[in-house]
Amino acid sequence: MKSTLPVLPEGPSALDPSVVCPPCGKCCRYVAVGIDEPSSVKRVSTALWMVYHKGVSIFESHDGDWFMVVAADCENLQPNGFCGVYQNRPLICREYDVDGCEGTSSEPAEKLKFEDAASFVRWLATQRTALYLKCVERGVIPETLRPTLTRRKPRSVAS
Ligand code: SF4
Ligand code: SF4
């Protein structure tokens, strides 16, 4: 997913215009941490535990990597969108690629995103049904979250 690099805005002279991006600050308003893909009962249970917490989401990137994300503004984010510790910002901020980021791309950064347990379980039940049923069998999915699964009608043979 490539995007055209935006025109750089005027900014404080301390900033290096060759590396600074438009200061929308969208990437400074959350913390995302890599997690295991929910591909086993234990991993589903852990992912579910995460989204049981208000304000915690999980998502899958377009590259197939899974993350836990918590919305939280960085204390260094300035009202004009610039970084208050730009010269000494964390390495992870320096490495973040403006090309295709949420501030410059029209496409959502995530392939899949779940902000609550119900939407995650619904996806699991419909898209990973065998694993979902195993999770139900192991007792890690409360009844209140279990959607009704509709079975496909068998194809009738034309007489
Ligand atoms: S340290 Fe600066 S660049 Fe990094 S998240 Fe905070 S405001 Fe953004
Ligand atoms: S989301 Fe992109 S454009 Fe916005 S501040 Fe972060 S890197 Fe820059």
In ligand 2, the atom with minimum distance to the C-alpha of 81 is 5
Per-residue pLDDT for 6 more than 60?
no
pLDDT in tens, 56-115: 999 999 899 999 999 999 999 998 888 999 999 999 998 888 877 888 888 887 899 999
Given a contact cutoff of 8 angstroms between Cβ atoms, the answer to whether 39 and 30 are in contact is no
pLDDT in tens, 28-66: 999 999 999 999 999 999 999 999 999 999 999 989 999
Q: What is the pLDDT, as a whole number, of residue 141? A: 97
pLDDT in tens, 111-151: 999 999 999 999 999 999 999 999 999 999 999 999 887 66
- Calculate how far, in angstroms, residue 23's C-alpha sits from the geometric centre of ligand 2: 6
Mutate to test the pocket of ligand 1, among 26, 30, 76 (most ligand atoms within 8 A of CB): 76
Provide the whole-model pTM. Answer: 0.79
Protein residue with least CA distance to atom 1, ligand 1 = 89
Q: Name 60's bridge partners.
A: 66, 112
Q: HSE on the CB side for 69, CA within 13 Å? A: 21
- Calculate how far, in angstroms, residue 98's C-alpha sits from the geometric centre of ligand 1: 13
Given a contact cutoff of 8 angstroms between Cβ atoms, the answer to whether 96 and 27 are in contact is yes
Please report, for residues 40, 44, 48, 53, the alpha-carbon distance to residue 148 in angstroms, rounded to integers and kept in the order given.
Answer: 21, 19, 19, 24
In ligand 2, the atom with minimum distance to the C-alpha of 102 is 1
